[in-house]
Amino acid sequence: MLEASIAAWLLLCVGDFLSTFCYHVPEHVFGCLHLQTHHSSKQTFRHYAILAANFNVLLDGVLGALPYLLVAIPLWSLSPFGVIAGLGLGQLHVWWRHTSVIHWQTPKRVLRLCQFLHVTTPEQHWLHHQKTNVGFGDIFTFFDPPAKAWLRFLRLLRRQSRTSGTSVMGRLI
């Protein structure tokens, strides 16, 4: 049972780190897929969360989930049950954090527990929908401060590459 708990926690924590810093924040700076499917004022929760026949919505979901799936591979040997539990908890959290659209209010005891555990609540995630430069970390709020610093750095890098006429990748290599 200890191995399963460790595997589930590692999957959620490392997966959230990779998803936040390798996909979510860079997509806010360099991409448009995530912004169009997740933050557009034209989209509703139903459009985003329920997989209608929209390839871009599906692609954004897959790209956001890919880091968790990649982390699951090496953790499988530690605990298949822990990996399945972690992926299941992650998916439940995705659904839960989008309940603010239906005017869900997190009960105060659950809110305090989430604050103690640094777990993103629907209210915090909704703030990210409204202000795209705050509330990073899909599952854990402790990724928000370093994600904001990463966001500022990537924006600076993008701005510098535009003024110098070189691509961001060209400046990094």
CA torsion through residues 14, 50, 147, 27, sign: positive
Question: Residue with structure tokens 């998803």?
Answer: 19
The whole model's pTM is what?
Answer: 0.80
pLDDT tens over the chain, length 173 residues: 999 999 999 999 999 999 999 988 998 888 776 565 565 555 554 444 454 567 777 777 788 889 999 999 999 999 999 999 999 999 888 888 777 667 778 899 999 999 999 998 888 887 777 777 878 888 999 999 999 999 999 999 999 888 877 665 555 55
- The Cβ of residue 23 has, within 10 Å, a number of other Cβ atoms equal to 20
